[in-house]
Amino acid sequence: MITNFVVILTFLSASQTVESADAFEGSPNVTCNKTSEFDCQTGICIPVLWHCDGTPDCSNGLDEAGCKISRCREGQVMCPTSKKCIPSTWRCDGDVDCSFENHFDQWDEDPAHCGPKSTCPWNTILCNATQKCLHVSKFCDSVDDCGGEDEGSFCTDSGCNKKKCEFKCKMTKEGPHCYCKDGYKLKTDNSTCVDANECEVDGSCDQICANTFGSFRCSCVPGYKEVNHTKCEAVNVPPNEPATIILSSSSDIRRIALNGSDWSGDSIQRSQTLALEFDHRNHRFCYLHQNRGNNTDAAMYCADVDELSNITKYPQPSLLSFESVTHIALDWVSGNWYFLDDSRELIFLCTGNLKYCLIIIDINLNKPHGIALDPTKGFMFFTKWGTVRPMLERAQLDGTDRITVDYAVQHVYWVDTYLDFIERIDYDGKNRKTVRKGYPVQNLFDITVFENNLYVTSWKNQSVIRINKYLTDDFETLTNNSKPFSIHVYHRQRQPDVAHPCKNKNGGCAHICIPAWNNNIATARCYCHNGYKLLKNGKCTLNHHSSFLLMGRGRPGMIKGIPMIPSPTQGPQEEAIVPITNLHRPSTLDFDVRTRYIYWADQNPPKIGRQKFDGLDREIWKGDDVSNCEGLAVDWVGRNLYWTDDMAGTLSVAPLDKPLLRKNLHINITHARAVTLHLDTNEP
């Protein structure tokens, strides 16, 4: 049995009323569209329709601050006094969860509804006075271990003489009680002993646990060494490099020791860095720089962990934008980068140098927030919190085989910022467990794990907190920081080695190699940059379909070409063209076969643009004098473009190669929308 954890995920979702927004910090230098966007005051703009929709979309929860809710989500119940929504499974679990800020509400643990409950392990009994589990052998031993409950006049009772216990018996207030020797537990007859499976108890072994008759045996996965028979200690690679923490905050990115003390070296002065990841094999960490009104190009920067001034810049890929990417993750086997764009609601990957990119998920991805990879098993995990019920999903690294649902142990951890808890679940969606809730895991932003400890960033106390993942009462504040964001433990065993063909010559793939696993056997799958098709030898060539469907969509905003005959290959569907991305809301489109240009109208700001099938020569064809184009049509014979403008009430035309020569054919049209042409191609 495997019993410790490595894969990590951030999950921020829940429905509740936020009483005050006074504590939120001011907005960075970013301007949101007041009519269509809501300012999170973190440098992020979200659609205005997401304001007060019952789901917090801003990382600080500002979009739900002061909003009233009338009901909770599916799987939740509302506390009568505090009006707080909590998971229904939290009722009668022994913890008061309804209390919130100034509202004291114990409804979820009302004894009239819950009754007595004991979750003590075998051979122990719950002490009501201390709420601790006491071994049966400690009763009636003349030592007060249970606030007086384990000692008393009942100890002189001879009930044990009549109790037929296989091992031993002790008197308790409830009468005689049998118990077993270590490694055994009582059967349902409460007198006979059978082998106890210690591997069912969290923390019996750090990692791999094997039950034996009357005992158990622990071992460790590769990369760890066994200590004191039950513990596993990560092996340093290189030997003189201990584990450290890489932390981003509202003011900088820095490296600190696991105990919170300063680490030698400078910090990188940066504000509000959310997207942060490390690359141990290349001795660096990487982060995204986004253009938030500072007139600088969006890019990914990678800094040497020991020389932070040694920074390499990777320009933003031409296909996709970093502007609303909030999370990045590295597949350290293939070197591919994964980017989660929560505004455009898509996940895309790029090769290590960002030269080739591929959209892998852009369907049924409502408000994604958080992504984690395990390339040693071929899995990607991500959360969605805009659905009717927020969920965690698992998929292959190419985005296929999506399933709703610690590399060493195959569990996923996540945090819930608004209900203040840490939970975990198996890779296959089973054995969900709340690790800790309430103090000190309040208003958490991010989480990582190393060996037996979880490390979280908390906005409640502006701090980094260490929590033992088995003994959750063992916690400490490591450092107080100015609004900490992302956190990673920098160590080789957080990116363990695994044999895979993608590591050698890119698996024979010209563009993209994605690790795949089948029955624990690794294979390399080749994919091409969007708009290219894969050949049998692993090379890629531009698509030249004789016919395909052009489709525009608003979320994520893009125009795609869909082949009329679906591709028989696995993975993301083959694109007939290089997609036109980074659009806000494309409202209409048409194409010119001769020049292979696609023309489209977009909003915010209003414009008519064009781009060729191969992704080249993208430009704004008409901008300043377009208000709200809802329809356009290409005259492929006369070489003109016709378009409507709903706000201006016009139908206009201009030559395809001279857009400034505009002529209004009709004015004062009420709601000018679609336009189409009937061309007589037989005319001389």
Tell me the per-residue pLDDT of 237-253, one tens digit each, with 9 for 90 and over.
Answer: 999 999 999 999 888 99
Q: Is 502 exposed, middle or buried (0-12, 13-18, 19+ CB in 10 A)?
A: buried
Measured CA to CA, the distance from residue 141 to residue 229 in angstroms comes to 31
- Number of Cβ atoms within 10 Å of the Cβ of 617: 11
User: What residues does 526 pair with on adjacent strands?
Assistant: 513
Q: Residues 559, 579: contact at Cβ < 8 Å?
A: yes
Q: Which two tokens stand for residue 192?
A: 């006979």
Cβ neighbors of 256 (< 8 A, separation 6 or more) are 244, 245, 247, 262, 263, 464, 478, 479
User: What residues does 595 pair with on adjacent strands?
Assistant: none
pLDDT at 202: 87
Element (H, E) at 349: strand 346-350
Tell me the per-residue pLDDT of 391-436, one tens digit each, with 9 for 90 and over.
Answer: 889 999 998 877 665 556 678 888 887 778 888 888 888 888 888 8
pLDDT at 29: 54
Q: Is 550 exposed, middle or buried (0-12, 13-18, 19+ CB in 10 A)?
A: middle
Q: Is the peptide bond before 440 cis (omega within 30 degrees of 0)?
A: yes
Q: How far apart are the first and last CA of the chain?
A: 81
- φ, ψ of residue 105 to 5 degrees: the values are -140, 115
Measured CA to CA, the distance from residue 399 to residue 552 in angstroms comes to 21
Give the Å distances, CA to CA, from 378 to 276, 364, 456, 520, 605.
Answer: 21, 21, 26, 10, 41
pLDDT at 610: 97
Q: Is the peptide bond before 111 cis (omega within 30 degrees of 0)?
A: no
Q: Is the peptide bond before 238 cis (omega within 30 degrees of 0)?
A: yes
Residue ranges and CATH numbers for the domains of the chain are 124-195 (no CATH), 247-500 (2.120.10.30), 543-666 (2.120.10.30)
pLDDT at 442: 85
Q: Is 24 exposed, middle or buried (0-12, 13-18, 19+ CB in 10 A)?
A: middle
Buried b (16+ CB within 10 A) or exposed e, 170-185: bbbeeebbbbbeebbe
Buried b (16+ CB within 10 A) or exposed e, 306-320: eebeeeeebebbebb
DSSP β-ladder status, 268-269 and 276-279? unpaired
Cβ neighbors of 193 (< 8 A, separation 6 or more) are 166, 167, 180, 181, 184, 185, 186, 187
Measured CA to CA, the distance from residue 2 to residue 200 in angstroms comes to 10
Q: Residues 217, 484: contact at Cβ < 8 Å?
A: no
Low-confidence ranges of the chain (pLDDT < 70): 1-30, 53-56, 59-60, 68-70, 99-104, 115-118, 292-296, 387-389, 403-409, 566-573, 681-684
Q: What length is written for the chain?
A: 684
Cα–Cα nearest to 232, from 407, 477, 412, 448: 407
pLDDT at 356: 93
pLDDT at 13: 35
Measured CA to CA, the distance from residue 120 to residue 445 in angstroms comes to 32
Measured CA to CA, the distance from residue 580 to residue 216 in angstroms comes to 58
Measured CA to CA, the distance from residue 335 to residue 652 in angstroms comes to 50
Give how far the C-alpha of residue 454 lies from the chain's centroid of Cα atoms, to the nearest Å. 16
Element (H, E) at 581: none
- Number of Cβ atoms within 10 Å of the Cβ of 640: 18
What's the predicted TM-score (pTM) here?
A: 0.79
- Number of Cβ atoms within 10 Å of the Cβ of 164: 9
E runs forming strands in 40-138 = 45-47, 76-78, 85-87, 124-127, 132-135
pLDDT at 168: 95
